[in-house]
Amino acid sequence: MRDAEDSLSRDGQGLEPPTHVAVIMDGNGRWAKARGLPRTAGHKKGVDAVRRTVEAARELGIGYLTIFSFSSENWRRPEEEVSDLMSLLRFYLRSEIAELHKAGVRLRVIGDRSRLSDDIIRLIDNAEQLTAGNRVMTLVVALSYGSRQEIAAAARRLAEEVAAGRLDPAAIDEAALSARLYTADIPDPDLIIRTSGEQRISNFLLWQAAYAELVFVDTLWPDFTKRDLEAAIEEFHRRERRFGATTASR
Q: Among all residues, which ones are annotated catalytic?
A: 26, 74
- DSSP notation for 180-234: TSTTTTSPPPSEEEE-TT----TTSSTTTTTT-EEEE--S-GGG--HHHHHHHHH
Contact status, residue 7 vs residue 19, Cβ threshold 8 Å: no
CA 39 to chain centre: 22
* Residue 117 counted as an annotated binding residue: no
3-state SS of 31-77?
Answer: HHHHCCCCHHHHHHHHHHHHHHHHHHHHHHCCCEEEEEEEEHHHHHC
CA 79 to chain centre: 24
* Residue 35 counted as an annotated binding residue: no
Helix/strand/coil for 142: strand
* Residue 165 counted as an annotated binding residue: no
What is the helix (H) or strand (E) element at residue 106, kind and residue range? strand 105-110
* Residue 202 counted as an annotated binding residue: yes
* Residue 72 counted as an annotated binding residue: yes
Pairing of strands 105-110, 137-145: parallel
* Residue 71 counted as an annotated binding residue: yes
* Residue 29 counted as an annotated binding residue: yes
* Residue 77 counted as an annotated binding residue: yes
* Residue 196 counted as an annotated binding residue: no
* Residue 28 counted as an annotated binding residue: yes
* Residue 197 counted as an annotated binding residue: no
Binding site, annotated residues for Mg(2+): 26, 213
Binding site, annotated residues for substrate: 27-31, 39, 43, 71-73, 75, 77, 194, 200-202
Binding site, annotated residues: 26-31, 39, 43, 71-73, 75, 77, 194, 200-202, 213
